[in-house]
Every structure is written in structure tokens, then in C-alpha cells.
Amino acid sequence: MSVKESGGLRRLIGQLFRPLEGKTWFTAATLMGFCALGLTCYFLWNHYGHKLFQHEHYGFDPNQIQVTEQPDWIRSNVTENAIAFGSLEDANLLDQEFVLQVKQAFAVQPWVKRVKFVNKQYPSSVEVELEYRRPIAMVEVPAGMFEDFDEPGLLPVDIDGCLLPVELSEQEAAEYPWISGINTSPAAPPGNAWGDKRVLHAARIIGLLEEIWGPLQLSRIEVPNQALITDTNGQSYNLITRSRRKFAWGSAPGAEQTGEDPAKEKVALLRRILESNQDLDSLELNDQANLSEAIGIRYARQPRGTQR
């Protein structure tokens, strides 16, 4: 740019601003105008902003929520329970806490193991991906364990030893592996850990044997007496077959005693039994010596008075 052109530009800018020279009142009026505009916007928002949140484009529609399909073993409606618990009917997509509100409403549901993500979608729908808990065993509850409940029963737990809601029929529950010998009440409502490590350990053993549980003709796991468990004598869990034969599994997975085979090797041996077209009920007594020698599983006859 030449010197001549630069001088012309300065003169033009000077002419534009010359009317404001000496007129400080104009500057003050401008500032006051902006302040008045700000106060007006604040007033309007406080009095009418809630109507924007209630607009159909931003209000949460419970009918538009997309949740991971719940499995057959869950009979209650997890989504309806979460909406009611979290008061989501009144929620709004513009609320900064909306995603957290939805996540918390689902996370406390006893069938929900984990909320993977919550995704807001325009204009008023929400996508929620869940990981559900799955019953893996039934804890055999003796009569009198609960107040005003004098009959024995079965309570479902998942592989983490968490108590689950009782929604299956008695016939359906009876088809699951049982955990026997638990003499403690659940420490918290469904959706929380039972509070007895023996429940967790038994559930983990059942999880390891889940694929071969039926073919082996297994019926239940018998847990050790809590009073006899110490850090030095181990925890002997017993496998019980449908014909009441008892095989000592040994310690909980990952807590094996010195010289005891790990759980993976015990499972491998039981698989070999199936590969030889046998199950634990069909083993002859003289086969028991080989079984004991292999992984230390001992055989005994369960009392005839015990059913199932």
C-alpha cells in the first residue's frame, strides 16, 4: 500500500468517528443500553426460560427411550422401573445433569450389572446400553432364615455372588445349580453382594463348570462350614450329583492350598470324563482312586435323607 493510499484510509476513519468527539454522553448511553438489555434478558429467562425446557423438542419422552433388550429370565420391566425411580418423566434434554440422571436411574436397578453408555439423540430420544445380570445358581435357603417365612426356598445369585430378584417360577428355579449349606442371610437388597464369600466362591465354581454341569449329572455345590474355615485348613467345596454322590472339589478358585491342582486342571479332568462317555454318577468305585490321584477329588456317599 502506498503512502498516499494509507493517508486516505486514515482520513476516512477519522471522518467516521468525528461525530462522537466530545460526546461522552453517547458512550455512556450506549453502555446503559447494553446493561438494560442484559437485565431484560435475565428477567425474561427467569420468568419464561422454563417454558423452553418444557418444549416438546427438549422434553424427555419415555416412549422414545431405546434400551438394550432385556433377556428372558427378567420378568419385570427394567426400563419402566428406572423411569419411575429416577422421575425421568419430568427430565429435560437441555439439563446438564440429564445424562447422569438417566445413568443413575438404571444403575440402581437390581438386574443391571453395568450402564455402558447413555446417548442423547435429537429431538427427544435417548439410547441406553446395559449389561444385565444373569442368574447362575440358586442358594438353598433353610426354613426360618427370614422372619415370617417358615418354609425353605431358593434365592437366585449371579456369578459375582450378587442376590437377584425372585422372578422365576419354582419349577424354573429348580433347574438351576443349587448352593447348599449357606446359613447367613443376604446383607443387602437384590442387586448387591450376598455378603458371604462362600456364595461368591460357589458361584465361581459353577461358572467354571457351567458348560458341563448338566452332562456330568451335577445337582448342587455344598459349601464348607463357615465356623471351620481358616486360612490354613482350606475351604473344601463339594460337588453333589443327582444320585447324591459327593466329590470334594477342594478350595475356591484362586485360593488353592499348597500342592492342590488349580481349578483349570480340575475342569480339564472332568471334561475328559465326559469325553470317555461317562459322567460322575456312572463312575465305578474303583475309578475313584484314579480321580483322587489326578486332582485330589474324594468320593463319599451323601446321606439318603437328602433330596434332589
For 185-215, write each residue's pLDDT tens digit: 899 999 999 999 999 999 999 999 999 999 9
Same domain for 150 and 292, yes or no, is yes
Same domain for 164 and 273, yes or no, is yes
Q: Can you tell me the mean pLDDT for 89-112?
A: 88
Same domain for 204 and 289, yes or no, is yes
pLDDT at 51 over 70: no
Q: Is residue 24 part of a domain?
A: no
The predicted structure's pLDDT at residue 292: 44
Question: Which of 7-21, 31-45, 112-126, 137-151 is predicted least confidently?
Answer: 7-21
Could you tell me where the DSSP H helices lie in 196-296?
197-209, 263-275, 287-295
List the strands of the sheet with 245-250, edge to edge. 153-157, 137-141, 178-180, 218-222, 237-241, 245-250, 299-301
Q: Where is pLDDT greater, at 305 or 158?
A: 158
Q: Which of 115, 132, 149 is the last residue of a domain?
A: 132
Domain that holds residue 281: 137-301
The predicted structure's pLDDT at residue 188: 92
Q: Is residue 40 part of a domain?
A: no
Q: What pTM was estimated for this model as a whole? A: 0.74
Q: Is residue 244 part of a domain?
A: yes
Same domain for 123 and 206, yes or no, is no
- The CATH number linked to 124 is 3.10.20
Q: For cell 484314579, what's the residue? A: 290
The predicted structure's pLDDT at residue 153: 86
Please say whether the beta carbons of 288 and 299 come within 8 A: yes
The predicted structure's pLDDT at residue 64: 83
Same domain for 109 and 157, yes or no, is no
Q: Is residue 26 part of a domain?
A: no
In the chain, % of residues over pLDDT 70: 68
pLDDT-based confidence at residue 158 (cuts at 50, 70, 90): very high
Q: Which of 97, 132, 167 is the last residue of a domain?
A: 132
pLDDT at 300 over 50: no
Same domain for 84 and 147, yes or no, is no
The C-alpha cell that represents 209 in the structure block? 463348570
Same domain for 174 and 232, yes or no, is yes
The predicted structure's pLDDT at residue 191: 96
Q: Is residue 144 part of a domain?
A: yes
Q: Can you tell me the mean pLDDT for 105-111?
A: 97
Same domain for 294 and 174, yes or no, is yes
Same domain for 104 and 162, yes or no, is no
Q: Is residue 230 part of a domain?
A: yes
The predicted structure's pLDDT at residue 46: 59
pLDDT at 25 over 60: no
Q: Is residue 21 part of a domain?
A: no
The predicted structure's pLDDT at residue 302: 42
Which secondary-structure segment (H or E) carries 45? helix 24-53
How many structural domains are present in the chain? 2
DSSP at 218: E
SS3 176: coil
Same domain for 188 and 276, yes or no, is yes
For 260-273, write each residue's pLDDT tens digit: 888 998 999 899 88
Q: Which of 78, 112, 132 is the last residue of a domain?
A: 132
Q: Is residue 20 part of a domain?
A: no
Same domain for 290 and 168, yes or no, is yes
In the chain, % of residues over pLDDT 90: 42
For 70-93, write each residue's pLDDT tens digit: 999 999 999 999 999 988 887 777
pLDDT at 179 over 80: yes
Same domain for 157 and 82, yes or no, is no
pLDDT-based confidence at residue 303 (cuts at 50, 70, 90): very low
Question: Could you tell me where the beta strands, DSSP code E, fall in 101-196?
Answer: 112-121, 125-132, 137-141, 153-157, 178-180
- What's the whole-number average pLDDT of the chain? 79
